[in-house]
Structures are given as C-alpha cells and as structure tokens.
C-alpha cells in the first residue's frame, strides 16, 4: 500500500472535504450495524442515513439513491 503525500491532488480534495464539513458543522461516522451516522456537531444530534424507499440504513456516502435522515428523540 502506498501513502499519498499531503501535496497529492486527491489528498488535497479530501482535505477540502474535511474543511467544508467542519465549516458546516457536520461529521460522518460509522454507527455500527453497517450504517452511517450524520452528526450535527453544533447540536450533537445524530441522524441515521436511510434509503427513502425501504427505510434501510445506508452504509455509504454519497448514497447514490434518494435518502432521508432520521433521528431518535
């Protein structure tokens, strides 16, 4: 496995994505059970990423399908 340098174009894209998410107050984390949690870091509210049609939790981002966000109160 090769490590990309900090100057590599793809590394730069990933850094920009992290910075953009941070500026919006969003974090994406693996929530277990094969799903992703989308977290509002300003309110600490955790949203589950779910398929719009089946309501199944989605394990990937971007989804490639229509999605909804759900949370537990």
H helices present in 1-73, as ranges? 9-24
User: For 15-61, how does the pLDDT look when each residue is reduced to its tens digit (9 = 90+)?
Assistant: 999 999 999 999 999 988 888 899 999 999 999 999 999 999 999 88
User: For 60-72, how does the pLDDT look when each residue is reduced to its tens digit (9 = 90+)?
Assistant: 888 888 999 999 8
How many residues make up the chain in this entry?
A: 73
Between CA 39 and CA 48 the distance in angstroms is: 9
Q: Let me know the angle formed at the C-alpha of 6 by 59 and 21, rounded to the nearest 5 degrees.
A: 40
């Amino acid at each position: 496995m090769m490590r990309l340098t900090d100057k590599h174009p793809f590394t730069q894209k990933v850094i920009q994505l992290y910075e953009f998410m941070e500026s919006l107050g969003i974090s994406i984390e693996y929530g277990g059970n094969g799903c992703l949690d989308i977290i509002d870091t300003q309110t600490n509210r955790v949203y589950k990423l779910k398929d719009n049609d089946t309501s199944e939790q989605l394990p990937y981002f971007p989804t490639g399908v229509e999605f909804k966000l759900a949370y537990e109160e």
